Each structure stands twice: as C-alpha cells, then as structure tokens.
Amino acid sequence: MIHPLSDVQSAHIGTGTKVWQFAIVLKGAVIGQDCNINCHTLIESNAVIGDRVTVKPGVFIWDGVILEDDVMVGPNATFTNDKWPKSKNASYTQLPTKVKRGASIGANATILCGIEIGDFAMIGAGAVVTKNVPSRALMVGSPAKIAGWMNEDGTKMQQQGDHFVDNKGNKWSVIDSELKKL
C-alpha cells in the first residue's frame, strides 16, 4: 500500500510494505517486504531497509544508512551521515551507519554516523549514540552508555551475580564489553 499523498520514486519497494501519507522515498532507495514507513518520513536514494522494519513519523533515513531486518525506529529518531557537517562542503565524506537485525531505536534518539548498532540492541529514548553498540546492549543517556542487556523479544535480561540470564534460561557473561553466551 502506497498512500496517494506520499512521494515514492523508488521501484524497489517489497510486497506488503506500507508507505503512509507525506512520506518521501527517493529513486534508488531499497525497502524490503512487510515494512511500515510512517507519515512525515524521508528515505534517500542510497538507503537500504530490510524486511519487517518499522520507521515511525519524523524519521529521515539518509544515504549510507542500512537498517537490517526487524528493526524498529521510533518517532523523531535522528540519523546523521556527515561527521563534520558544513553548508556546501565540497570535501563531504559520507560515513555509513548500520543498524543490525532486531535492534530498536527509541524516540528522539540521535545516531551519529559511521557506527554499527548490534543485533537486538535497544537504544533508549533521547539517547545520543556516538560509538558502536554491542549486540543486545541497552543504551541510555548522552553520550549513550550500556545500562543492561536485552533478550531477542525486547525485554531486559536479568542479572544474577556476575552473569545475565535470558528469557530462555541461557546464561550470558560480559567479556571485553561484549555479551557472550556461556
């Protein structure tokens, strides 16, 4: 479903994807199947969006941003693609950003360019992400810091002593700032 009040110039829109009113999808953008692209969004030509992705209102997906399958981007979350923005910058260098499978980005979070957000990570509302995020990390604050670890279903893992337990009973430990299954 492509709403008649949207401006969709790309031919690469997957089946079952919904693009709502006042959304702009530029030529060359790739959007997978069963996505929900809400109103008042912009997706640039060199952006790639996987399957079953939700992009809430007020989000702009710039060139170089990749959202893998099952990603959720909350309202007014902000991506960047230029580390040193300046008007009419002739030496502009685009830095890609990747949000990996199953990650969620909260409302009004800011994601700086050139980073990767790991599988099933969750970025809290209003967080400012300035560096790579490990898989399953819960990131909050400005700058964002790890505040816990997430299950695949978006619930927080429980801490038991020096390890964490997921909702399936598996034990995990933090080794070199990464969560590892024991």
Q: Count of domains in the chain? A: 1
Task: State the residue range of the domain holding 146.
Answer: 7-156
What pLDDT score was predicted for residue 120? 98
Residues, the chain, total? 182
pTM reported for the whole predicted model:
0.95
Residue 179 within a domain = no
Residue 24 within a domain = yes
Residue 64 within a domain = yes
Q: What is the DSSP string of 96-135?
A: -EEE-TT-EE-TT-EE-SS-EE-TT-EEPTT-EE-S-B-T
Residue 162 within a domain = no
Q: Are 103 and 121 in contact (CB under 8 A)?
A: yes
Residue 62 within a domain = yes
pLDDT at 139 over 90: yes
Specify the CATH number for the domain of residue 89. 2.160.10.10
What pLDDT score was predicted for residue 93? 86
Q: Give 80-130 pLDDT, tens digit per residue.
A: 988 888 888 888 888 999 999 999 999 999 999 999 999 999 999 999 999
